[in-house]
Structure 1
Amino acid sequence: MTETPTIFGLPAERGRWGLIALGLLINLCLGSIYSWSVFVAPLAAHFTAALGREVTAGEVLLPFSVFLAFFAIAMPLAGKYIERYGPRKVTVAGGLLTGLGWLLASTATSVEALYVVYGVIGGLGVGIAYGAPVAVAARWFPDRRGLAVGLTLLGFGVSAFVTANAAGALIAAYGVMTTFAIFGVVLAAVLVIAALPLRFPPAGWHPAGWSAPAPGTGTAPACECDRRAMLRTGTFYGLFACYFVGCLAGLTAISIAKPVGTEVAGVDAGLATLLVGFFAIFNGAGRPAFGGLADRISPQKTAMLTFGLIAAASVLIWLAPGVPAYVVSFAVLWGCLGGWLAIAPAATASYFGTCDYPRCYGVVFLAYGAGAIAGPQLAGFVRTATGTYLGVFPLVAVLAAVGFAVAWLLMRPPASVPASTPVPVAAGEE
């Protein structure tokens, strides 16, 4: 007989929402990387004074890129440890590394030192911790997987709206290096405390009154296969390609939001900064919105919808550059990026099951890292070659059309499933 668990003293069907709230809080802390733009000017001024030479904003942006790269690298590597040791221990380890990265950044005597203490250590910490609350949400909510994952990741999307304001106030009051130290201590403490209740459901558990639909439909997994079996399906490559295009479009929009506003749309610099916070709301809201939609109409159809929206937004700003088109287009692009960060994990569980979910989604998440590198580089290349960012948008529209075609052809439950070996869940943290 299947065990009837309780969470926070409540029946699991009710208490599991508390785990979603904790996952949202964890991601709010992990997403503090998106507040990096607030640190750029103060850090450039600090190192210019300390080193006796001009340190440019471009130099200070590099730790951000290093951070994202190690974040993406750590995700697939951490997957097997989530299964082996459970989500609680892995989140604690990642949380401590994240806090340590911020804390050590306060001692950096050069920008190069930030590459290691902030970019490498902090990036690894976020990559280690990021997948655990997502896996918890996916397993406790087989009936509402897309919505649960989207709500969990909502914190990461809106983090800049919270942490950027906090960072700005702390920098003004205490200076940039002290702010790093404060962030490090607070983030480590909150992440460790929030991680303690995390656990997986017992084997075979499902919500009362819910039964799994037929395999490959609705929220039921098309198969239960491990990472090796997943890599032998065309579905994986379709999902990976679509995730890459969705992230490339969204991360390009994030990286050039303010300069496009000031240079192309003619928005005042102060208003452009405020609009970045406005766009961040759409980034966060896109996760539960598109995640819930993936539950209702399937990940494939939701993916095709996002590509249609990305193409339309790109064409709009390209053909009618101005304030209204800028606001609408970038809200859509940021929202679709948030959507993809819910669609992809939900699709991974829907197509390949949850027996080896952290390792499977870790590989899929590499598409995010590739998009994080390619998107801003594409924008920079176009800006250098043409003198304007406008040429970025027809390229993004073409890529969205390709993504639509790939989603239609490949992003569907695998027709045949190679044999797989289920991975046992960590003892004591089911």
Structure 2
Amino acid sequence: MDTIVSRQRWLQLGLGLLAMMAISSPQYVWTLFTKPLMATTGATLAAIQVTFTVVIVLQTFFSPVQGYLIERFSPKVMIALGAALSGLGWVLAARVDTLWGLYATYGLFCGLGTGIVYVGIVGLMVKWFPDRRGFAVGVVAAGYGMGALLTTFPITNMMAASGYRETLTTFGIILGLVGVLAALGLRAPRPGEALPAPARNLSTCVHDTAPKEMLRTPLFWLMFVMMTMMSTGGLMVVAQFASFARDFGVADALVFGFAALPFALTFDRITNGLTRPFFGWVSDRIGREKTMAIAFAAEAGAIALMLVFRENAYAFALLSGVVFFAWGEIFSLFPSLLTDTFGTKHATTNYGFLYMAQGVGSLLGGPVAAMIYAAQGSWIPVFGIAIGLDLLTAALAWFVLRPMRREWLGLGGAPAPLGKPALA
């Protein structure tokens, strides 16, 4: 590959990472604002948390429309618009005093804005890196998962010194500008700028499949169900993490000199970010389905061990990091797998449909876990369901998804191309 072209795609990856980091705070630091917003609006915590649900629903369930608009118009313009909307959501939320005002600002603008940026960046990366899709998508997904590490403490300190309204306004402007400036350098690859796809194997699509055609295939719906199960099972543990840490009596125990719960949450955020490029890189070498089977089974094992050693603060905190490490990779593996299967031409819109599975998991995971706990009075059934979903999805990846994709790609039972055994 020409040196200039090679530099351009790495520049695109860097800009995509920066844009993703800029839109991570509306989701990952939301919890810092709930208490002052309750005081301002006079609403209950449950009512305030609807704002977060609105963000997730708009981010995921509108992603096919967002993906279509990005492909229909300029990715640069649409992603810049998304970053601006995300920042504007914070600025406007600082000026409202009612619950519905909060829904219409933070919920609406941040939900739509972050969805546009997320789907748009992933769609660009799978086009720029046909040879390293898993790694490239993992890098930008890690930016979304870990970006809030840079803002959490500054936001906390500014809130203590100046209040939440000034904090929302200041960081809304800063993060919005950073996202817009990064987006202005983004673009799709021109003819000849992207590497050709690898030799024909399970990472090479037969033809570009339009969304309407893709939605008619059992293969897509298998991927959708698998991602939904992984999202649901993982979020059954993730969303209730603080609650069962307290119930197990380890939340306030000391781990390496820190309280176990905040230590685990910080450690988990790091592993949840690192897993995305790591398993993406692994999948580029040994194949998506093999990597899925390994990672999903590892998550099941980590959850089981965390349950067994639930009263040991050190084991609980460290194993929680393994759980997150084996769960977060779904955000690099599934978009790469989808593009491997259905091509790059409609990659952004196609991933918008698959990304809805994360929305389904977000709506099911937390509430279902809470309902089961309320009915059973124990977290053990919740852990059992999460383990079962992990193992089932791992089995589907190896025994069902892999042969179905071989048939779809016209590979049948043919051996891997010489020199490319890891990708077959």
Q: TM-score, normalised by structure 1?
A: 0.88
Q: Is residue 27 of structure 2 the alignment partner of residue 30 of structure 1?
A: no
Corresponding position of 1:282: 271
Q: TM-score, normalised by structure 2?
A: 0.89
Corresponding position of 1:13: 6
Deviates more, 1:149-158 or 1:126-135: 126-135
> Is the Cα–Cα contact under 8 Å of residues 239 and 410 in structure 1 kept in the other structure?
no
> Is the Cα–Cα contact under 8 Å of residues 99 and 122 in structure 1 kept in the other structure?
yes
Cα deviation code 1:234-282 (max 9, x no counterpart): 2212211111122223323331222222221522184412321211001
Q: CA deviation at 1:36?
A: 1.1
Question: In structure 2, the residue corresponding to 1:415 is in which secondary structure?
Answer: helix
Corresponding position of 2:382: 392
Question: In structure 1, the residue corresponding to 2:107 is in which secondary structure?
Answer: helix
Q: Is residue 266 of structure 2 the alignment partner of residue 272 of structure 1?
A: no
> Is the Cα–Cα contact under 8 Å of residues 318 and 391 in structure 1 kept in the other structure?
no
Corresponding position of 2:139: 151
In structure 2, do the counterparts of structure 1 residues 118 and 387 end up closer, same or farther at CA, with 3 Å as the change threshold? same
Between Structure 1 and Structure 2, how many residues are aligned?
401
> Is the Cα–Cα contact under 8 Å of residues 318 and 394 in structure 1 kept in the other structure?
no
Match of 2:198 among 198, 210, 213: 213
Corresponding position of 1:261: 245
Corresponding position of 2:67: 79
Unaligned runs of 5+ in 1: 49-54, 419-430
CA distance in structure 2 between the partners assigned to 1:321 and 1:223 by the alignment: 49
Deviates more, 1:238-247 or 1:361-370: 238-247
Match of 2:335 among 335, 345, 355: 345
In structure 2, do the counterparts of structure 1 residues 213 and 143 end up closer, same or farther at CA, with 3 Å as the change threshold? closer
CA distance in structure 2 between the partners assigned to 1:298 and 1:25 by the alignment: 28
Q: CA deviation at 1:355?
A: 0.8
Unaligned runs of 5+ in 2: 254-258, 411-424
CA distance in structure 1 between the partners assigned to 2:280 and 2:207 by the alignment: 20
- Which amino acid in 1 is paired with 2:147? S
Cα deviation code 1:88-108 (max 9, x no counterpart): 011011112111111111112
Question: In structure 1, the residue corresponding to 2:85 is in which secondary structure?
Answer: helix
Corresponding position of 1:51: none
> Is the Cα–Cα contact under 8 Å of residues 310 and 333 in structure 1 kept in the other structure?
yes
Q: CA deviation at 1:197?
A: 0.9
Deviates more, 1:229-238 or 1:404-413: 404-413
- Which amino acid in 1 is paired with 2:301? A
Task: Spell out structure 1 runs of 4+ moving beyond 6 A.
Answer: none
> Is the Cα–Cα contact under 8 Å of residues 300 and 407 in structure 1 kept in the other structure?
yes
Sequence identity percentage: 31
> Is the Cα–Cα contact under 8 Å of residues 313 and 328 in structure 1 kept in the other structure?
no
Deviates more, 1:313-322 or 1:373-382: 313-322
Q: CA deviation at 1:222?
A: 4.2
> Is the Cα–Cα contact under 8 Å of residues 341 and 409 in structure 2 kept in the other structure?
no
CA distance in structure 2 between the partners assigned to 1:44 and 1:66 by the alignment: 17
> Is the Cα–Cα contact under 8 Å of residues 146 and 292 in structure 1 kept in the other structure?
yes
In structure 2, do the counterparts of structure 1 residues 180 and 23 end up closer, same or farther at CA, with 3 Å as the change threshold? same
The two structures, once aligned, show a CA RMSD in angstroms of: 2.1
Q: CA deviation at 1:26?
A: 0.9
> Is the Cα–Cα contact under 8 Å of residues 260 and 317 in structure 2 kept in the other structure?
no
Q: CA deviation at 1:313?
A: 1.7
> Is the Cα–Cα contact under 8 Å of residues 253 and 333 in structure 1 kept in the other structure?
no
CA distance in structure 2 between the partners assigned to 1:114 and 1:11 by the alignment: 46
